[in-house]
Structure 1
């Protein structure tokens, strides 16, 4: 197998895009463009390429090919710099920034909206992903482990595209229950997007150190396999002490290498099963690899926008009655009246709520799976659905005045725990040991 190329969606549904080109590029195999500041706008089925206010080219799609490739990504001579790229879409730290990319880039017009696509080799893409997902100052064995996880996930998705037309699944069982899960949508015009929905890819923007580049080089072509198939590896920031199983977050398909494990050296301790045991687990502070307050390590592992989040292992929030009923009506389109209770109907082995029953004075409704629950209970995303709920009442009142959420972890918790993996590496574990911990039964294989 030869190293494949990947098409990454950088921007979508844009009315205009502004960018700067560095170095000579060939446009649509016809025109040699010098570096400079450009913008594009749709015009019917065409796209106008503008330099200042002057239209310099027009076609149905635009493809920019650099005259040469870069020898050194840290001092790239041939690149393009894009304004207002949104990162952390729908998360609490969402923001826009200027980002730089190398390789081929294309702009297409879909019904009057513009999409910017970057075409690049998989290994070059992964060097950026590792630097974008986590800080490239992270422990080196951790960066190697993440390289294998990200490569495995990507190649598994490319293989899966051959058989799956649309990977978002939705179930409305009856008028009182809605179970939805969101997977990596099979994008129509490109393979993966550039944000957390798929994998963070910020091009050259954070490639400032050699560690991430070297980690990808040393693991080049290596993936995790199970039964001779590339593993559909998943990862999140912090599992909260116990990893979750695939089928409790996405479609009902059991993956043996994505089973629930304690994020600790000792795997003999029994996992919680009852609601009381889950409450004790979530409200306590059990030992786990991802249970760290090591500020020095976290500053090396997390990027600046992730460091905004301080309480990722255990957290607590309060939502007042009016805010909760307003939020649920906005997110679900249902007037519940006053919220009387929120009851976990089903949990995964990590404590993540898979089904949540909302009981109001006007009606009851059950929602799932975990991401739908997190979206419904927060303006952006709740850190995770591993929580226990404590209603608070005023004297002689049967309706809670507020709800306290005691929570664990950050993200869906399936597979690789990023903070846990970094701690393992800091304690001297090599990348193979880290991967075998989070993906039991899988093996490493070099496929190109």
Structure 2
């Protein structure tokens, strides 16, 4: 595993969680691409050869049960070791979009080493592989293989920087560096590996963004919506000089999205930013997106929710006793228009007027939607029938997809499609940073 605070001088191995205990998965299917170059280490002690390409794995009362592998019945841990670099193990099902409304089950082809054990009565599957191979897979898991070279290289540098900065360590207690999904970085094995993504890793091998002798915590999202967000508005209250509120545009413009009237004008307009249809028409966007991304509008979007749906979401997620929502009032916005404080005025089951304040972008997105809102940079329209005491529908009109800090993937794509070079792209999104080759 990566060591916090240590800048590597050679390529490290990375441990990626593919199936997590929170997935509550008790079975999976494996298909081995090359029997002769794959072996199994059982309980970290006994090595056996693979006897069948297809193996069914499940959890039973005594451990992990294998069907399709002769001489192995129930074990505590499994380690599949592949000695050929072009070999893979097909694993299914695997969750993509874990915890989000676009979640779906996919199959993934995993290279190198796979470890399986039981944690909290569910399967944990970890893929261990060299960092640069991982990065080649990430670039076209995050976005599609049709993306231009400058974008793929920029995405690879940013992903490498975030990975080696190793700040968050969300899964260290489970013994791996990152998970396979939007919680960390999308990794779908070699499913989307291309000649272009391999070249992106090779051409930028070992390169990271540095600021003040430290690797940049280079976070990124799908679409900023036109204004890049500050780090401290989303996570720890510690400003990062290279993650600031700046327009995602060639030319600076003056707009204050902390003010509600300005925000309404912004959402109802299509400013000339890199992530806007001015640079990449939305009818062309699908061919550049990752395979698990939804088709739809990313720069500007509209979602409608009924009074009943909203009440259900709030009661389930805040454990309140809401009878009806009277209004949703933005109290504080960040520079990109993302919501930092939102007041929910409601009446409880005894018809008493009450209110609750939701803080932080993430919580606003989580609470107002069954799964997760695209972003918290939205305005609210209330549809209130004549004679009614409260709205029967709420319309959210929003900008962007994700937290909006750091590299805007669709904006970086727009830059690359319009002739910007790799270094210009990364320096735009992380101002003041410098590229450095570590190994």
TM over 0.5: yes
Compared CA separation, residues 438 and 268, structure 1 to 2 (3 A): same
Q: Is the 8 A contact 1:18 1:83 kept in 2?
A: yes
Is 1:4 aligned to residue 20 of structure 2?
no
Compared CA separation, residues 185 and 60, structure 1 to 2 (3 A): closer
> What residue number does 1:430 align with?
421
Compared CA separation, residues 49 and 136, structure 1 to 2 (3 A): same
- CA apart distance, 1:376: 1.0
Secondary structure, aligned partner of 1:143: helix
> What residue number does 1:388 align with?
379
Q: Structure 2: which 5+ runs fail to align?
A: 1-8, 349-353
2:154 to 145, 149, 153: 145
Q: State how 1:19-34 maps to structure 2 within 5 Å.
A: 19-23=30-34, 24-28=37-41, 30-34=47-51
Q: Is the 8 A contact 1:25 1:34 kept in 2?
A: no
Secondary structure, aligned partner of 2:261: helix
Is 1:51 aligned to residue 37 of structure 2?
no
Compared CA separation, residues 35 and 122, structure 1 to 2 (3 A): farther
> What residue number does 2:267 align with?
282
Compared CA separation, residues 416 and 237, structure 1 to 2 (3 A): same
> What residue number does 1:356 align with?
342
Secondary structure, aligned partner of 1:30: strand
Task: Give the Cα separation in 2 of the matches to 1:297 and 1:403.
Answer: 30
- CA apart distance, 1:34: 4.4
Q: TM-score, structure 1 length as denominator?
A: 0.88
Secondary structure, aligned partner of 1:100: strand
Secondary structure, aligned partner of 1:258: coil
Q: Is the 8 A contact 2:57 2:65 kept in 1?
A: yes
Q: State how 1:30-429 maps to structure 2 within 5 Å.
A: 30-34=47-51, 36-44=53-61, 46-51=63-68, 56-66=72-82, 68-70=83-85, 76=86, 78-157=87-166, 161=169, 184-207=170-193, 209-292=194-277, 294=281, 297-306=284-293, 308-362=294-348, 363-429=354-420
Task: Give the Cα separation in 2 of the matches to 1:35 and 1:253.
Answer: 53
Secondary structure, aligned partner of 1:81: strand
Q: What is the number of residues matched between the two proteins?
A: 415
Q: Structure 1: which 5+ runs fail to align?
A: 71-75, 162-183
Secondary structure, aligned partner of 1:195: coil
Secondary structure, aligned partner of 1:278: helix
Secondary structure, aligned partner of 1:115: strand
Q: Is the 8 A contact 1:22 1:35 kept in 2?
A: no
Compared CA separation, residues 366 and 85, structure 1 to 2 (3 A): same
- CA apart distance, 1:300: 3.5
Task: Give the Cα separation in 2 of the matches to 1:287 and 1:20.
Answer: 48
Q: Is the 8 A contact 1:132 1:206 kept in 2?
A: yes
Q: TM-score, structure 2 length as denominator?
A: 0.90
- CA apart distance, 1:296: 6.7
Task: Give the Cα separation in 2 of the matches to 1:35 and 1:155.
Answer: 38
Compared CA separation, residues 2 and 238, structure 1 to 2 (3 A): same
- CA apart distance, 1:187: 4.8
- CA apart distance, 1:160: 5.7
